[in-house]
């Protein structure tokens, strides 16, 4: 009929008052792959959850924690530059987060907000599944001394690796070793020659004109090289390592597995890693 009004067909999976909400906060955050990863996981298991990205300006991370509390969010992922601020704003910290002083995940436990750090376990799971190696007894050099380097170094030491920290600013490397302890130590660049696994935990490689994070002529046969950067998927460092016939890995697997650990902390269920990987065009 000419006077009939059209009816808008709504999707069946719209959020409801019962939908549980989780979010990622950062500045910037528009580039984040976390919404794709987590929403794919919720859909794969038929969970009534929704994950969104929230731009929170630098300096307002603690406010976001209070917003999480008042709005009833059930999970929070935390990226730069809020990891330290959120660690100071939650009710309690896991042992790992307390040692590192930074948080990348917040979960709810009996109305309390608990800060966690899943970065290190994310990389460990990525290395074990994608490179098929046991890190116990492994000689590792981590290049860099920022938050990612600390998280990765702590997890590798706790799982039996001997870890050297190389950073151009020696005092920053010393700070990492002071936090991590155990079998970690400050090393010079030449230590890369004797390492079995080299991990670039610096941002060098994100831009096309970035210098190398270390002298690639130090690389030798049978080493493995990991770059925590995942965009671009192959940094100049990884290209140089592959040209030398070395096994390489970028940071997308770390992102995937740290998200999977967050999913487990929030929902109590095992993460559907395959579905999550497919959401970011990754094969596992």
Residue 7: pLDDT band (50, 70, 90) is: low
74 is written with which tokens? Answer: 């059930």
**Cα–Cα distance, 251 to 201 (Å, whole number):** 10
Residue 3: pLDDT band (50, 70, 90) is: low
**pLDDT one-digit tens code per residue, 224-278:** 999 999 999 999 999 999 999 999 999 999 999 999 999 999 999 999 999 999 9
Q: Which domains does the chain have, with CATH numbers?
A: 20-117+254-279 (3.40.50.10860), 120-250 (3.40.50.720)
Q: Is 99 assigned a catalytic role?
A: no
pLDDT of res. 182: 97
Q: What is the DSSP string of 30-85?
A: TT--HHHHHHHHHHHTT--EEEEEEE--TT-HHHHHHHHHHHT-SEEEE-TT-HHH
- Asked whether residue 14 carries a pLDDT value surpassing 80, the answer given is no
**What is the overall mean pLDDT for the chain?**
94
pLDDT of res. 1: 43
Among residues 83, 193, 234, 239, the one annotated as catalytic is: 83
**pLDDT one-digit tens code per residue, 157-209:** 999 999 999 999 999 999 999 999 999 999 999 999 999 999 999 999 999 89
pLDDT of res. 268: 97
């Amino acid at each position: 009929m000419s006077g009939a009004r059209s009816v808008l067909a709504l999707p069946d999976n719209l959020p409801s008052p019962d939908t549980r909400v989780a979010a990622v906060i950062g500045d910037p955050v528009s580039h984040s792959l976390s919404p794709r990863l987590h929403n794919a996981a919720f859909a794969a298991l038929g969970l009534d959850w929704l994950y969104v990205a929230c731009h929170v300006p630098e300096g307002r991370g603690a406010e976001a924690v209070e917003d999480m509390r008042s709005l009833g969010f059930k999970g929070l992922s935390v990226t730069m530059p809020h990891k330290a601020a959120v660690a100071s704003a939650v009710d309690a910290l896991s042992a790992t987060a307390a040692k590192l002083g930074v948080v990348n995940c917040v979960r709810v436990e009996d109305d309390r907000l608990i800060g966690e750090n899943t970065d290190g376990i994310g990389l460990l799971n990525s290395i074990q599944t994608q490179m098929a190696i046991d890190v116990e007894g492994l000689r590792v050099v981590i290049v860099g001394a920022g938050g990612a380097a600390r998280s990765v170094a702590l997890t590798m030491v706790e799982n039996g690796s001997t870890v050297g920290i190389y950073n151009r600013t020696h005092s920053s490397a010393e700070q990492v070793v002071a936090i991590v302890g155990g079998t970690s130590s400050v090393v010079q660049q030449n230590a890369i020659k004797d390492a079995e696994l080299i991990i670039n935990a610096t941002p060098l490689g994100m831009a096309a004109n970035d210098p190398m994070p270390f002298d690639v002529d130090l690389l030798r046969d049978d080493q493995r090289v990991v770059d925590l950067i995942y965009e671009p998927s192959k940094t100049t460092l990884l290209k140089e390592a592959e040209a030398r016939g070395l096994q390489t890995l970028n940071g997308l697997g770390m992102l995937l597995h740290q998200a999977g650990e967050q999913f487990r902390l929030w929902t109590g269920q095992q993460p559907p890693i395959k579905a999550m990987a497919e959401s970011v065009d990754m094969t596992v």
